[in-house]
Amino acid sequence: MTSKGVALVTGAGGAMGSACVARLTRDGYKVALMDKNEDGLKESVKKASSDSKYWIVDQTNETETRTAVQEIEDQLGPIEALANTVGWCEGTKFADESSDYWHKVVAVNYLAELYVTHPVLKGMIERERGKIVYITSDAAKIGTGGEAVYAGAKAAVCAFAKSIARENARHNIRVNCTAPGATETPLMREVEQQNPEMIKRMVKLVPFRRLGTPEEQADVVSFLLSDDARWITGQVISTSGGLTMC
């Protein structure tokens, strides 16, 4: 058992999730990895400690997610920290999209967060301690052409996080968000194929004139889950290289 206990990373098979697994392992957590991407999980778990484990879960399925949370706590111990890194969208315009696409975007980017947070939070309340971070998006703060429904879903996560932060500070539970800008991930490259001009415009607007890295995003998640952030809750911190300054 590592000194800091168990950290659950959702979306752990993705680029930001994998970076969070590596960083939180270095921070001293035993990491539980959750994703539906088994190949990604197998790669990510290599960055974790030997007593870490992964769960193959469709996080848009409430039953699967709740069952996995219970198994994690039964097998690894209480979840002390939760890093939600799940996210997905396509680079399309709202007028061209179908409602099936909207439902998928909302399910992945909002409902999946609710499904995992509810059982984890209940345990944290019982223990009177806990830390939660959601990776959202700067699109939630300023909007982004080609990501309208995604931006709306991520904005919902920000408002949700602030609300549960206010409800649960009395239980010594902190809840915060990061809001990345353009970051070097496979998903970003998929969006670039659909809408290359959007990515070019975003990079030009970043004062550093480059994409961020998953590791830079994971560093801020690590900080927000650390004791150094013990007086921070209900915040949305832009991790966008200055793309937004608000």
Which residue is it, tokens 């007086």? 231
List alpha helices for the chain, DSSP H. Answer: 15-26, 38-44, 62-75, 99-106, 112-127, 139-142, 148-168, 186-194, 196-205, 214-224
123, two tokens: 């345990």
197, two tokens: 């001009």
The single residue of 29, 54, 110, 150 carrying the catalytic annotation is 150
Give CA–CA dist 62/116, Å, rounded: 8
CB-CB contact of 29 with 5 (8 Å)? yes
23, two tokens: 């960083």
Is position 150 annotated as part of the catalytic site? yes
Residue 191 one-letter amino acid: V
Q: The dihedral of CA 223, 229, 233, 234: what is its sign?
A: negative
**Neighbouring C-alpha atoms within 13 Å toward the C-beta of 202:** 27
Q: State how far the alpha carbon of 93 is from the alpha carbons of 183, 186, 191, in Å.
A: 20, 20, 12
Catalytically active residues, by annotation = 150
